[in-house]
Structure 1
Amino acid sequence: MLPRSTFVLGGAASGKSIWAEGLVESYNLPMVYLATGQVFDDEVEARVKIHKNRRNLRWQTVEEPFDLAPTLASLSDKQVVLIDCATMWLTNHLMNDANLEIEQARLLNALQTCAASWVIVSNEVGHGIVPDNAMARSFREAQGRLNITLAAQAELAVQVIAGLPQVLKGRLP
């Protein structure tokens, strides 16, 4: 049985998005890709292009860097949504000087009330050294708190390492 809610965690370039896309495709439901990234330079543009090229025409892409709630509320129980990724979403809010506690609560509520099955991808940022500046430390702490709450809310939590899923909570379908 496929989980209604899945949290996919991993390091940069760990294969987490590819693994999450495969999981979403296994639902055999209409798929929505909720993209949170913003393109500010050529490097990010190239990464976005790689992600887009991997998905076929069966995916509906919605680009929303800030307010995920309206899209999540519009989905039915006959759809599955992949949110890629929580880290970019958090970065967008941090750089906009938003109240992260309020935005995190809004996201968690939107996920809880979303009729569709959901998969959300996030980065593990706590395995490295302590950052040397206040903004980076603030981000690391906020990302850690967000990851903890997303993992708690999800039925299935998976860490992807070198493209391989390691189940942290629940069971793989």
Structure 2
Amino acid sequence: MGKTILITGGARSGKSGIAETMTLGLGPRAVYIATAEAHDAEMEKRIATHQARRGAEWTTHAEPLDLTEALQATDGQGPRLVDCLTLWLSNLMFSGRDWQEEARAMIAALPAQRDPVIFVTNEVGGGIVPDNALAREFRDAAGLLNQRVAAAVDEVHLAVCGLPLKVK
């Protein structure tokens, strides 16, 4: 099995940059599995910023929903960076898919991966309790997803002020 790492942290904690550096440290070419979808101009700009930061050593594989399939399709192409699980979760929830089943399938696929996989996710539990049911459902689901992935991977790092703190 390839090495598996989860990098979590708050908004603008530096987790994507840390993950990109770690991924390229595992091989000269890497695959960026992008889960984001640009539904507005602001998100288009965020995606463009991420793309501009990456160089020619990256191949992008866009997959907002079928993460297990994306991992299987890209295995053998070098280390993979999945950015991010939080957007993947929201995509699943808004599309009406069973996020828990999708998460179980993705986690079950990890031991068969030959190449390393690094996941980025947002730590969403440090704020106030959301004031609406959908936001609370998402926060709870993200917390559970993060716990399950953290239990399955080899390493977990918390990004704080642009620095990785190894948790596991």
1:44-93 Cα distance to aligned partner (Å, 9 max, x none): 11100010001001101000000012221133456100000000000001
Q: Is the 8 A contact 1:77 1:115 kept in 2?
A: yes
Q: Which moved more, 1:96-105 or 1:129-138?
A: 96-105
Q: Gaps (5+ residues) in structure 2?
A: none
Q: Is the 8 A contact 2:31 2:77 kept in 1?
A: no
TM-score normalised by structure 2 residue count: 0.95
CA RMSD of the aligned region, Å?
1.3
Please give the secondary structure, in 2, of the residue aligned with 1:120.
Answer: strand
TM-score normalised by structure 1 residue count: 0.92
2:15 aligns with 16
Following TM superposition, the consecutive aligned residue runs of length 4 or more in structure 1 with deviations greater than 4 angstroms are none
Percent identity between the two aligned chains: 38
Q: Is the 8 A contact 1:75 1:115 kept in 2?
A: no
Cα gap change, 1:17/1:44 in structure 2, threshold over 3 Å: closer, same or farther? same
**Amino acid paired to 1:52:** Q
Please give the secondary structure, in 2, of the residue aligned with 1:21.
Answer: helix
1:148-169 Cα distance to aligned partner (Å, 9 max, x none): 0111111110000110111100
Q: Gaps (5+ residues) in structure 1?
A: none
Are residue 54 (structure 1) and residue 49 (structure 2) matched?
no
2:39 aligns with 40
* Aligned residue pairs, count: 167
Cα gap change, 1:5/1:13 in structure 2, threshold over 3 Å: closer, same or farther? same
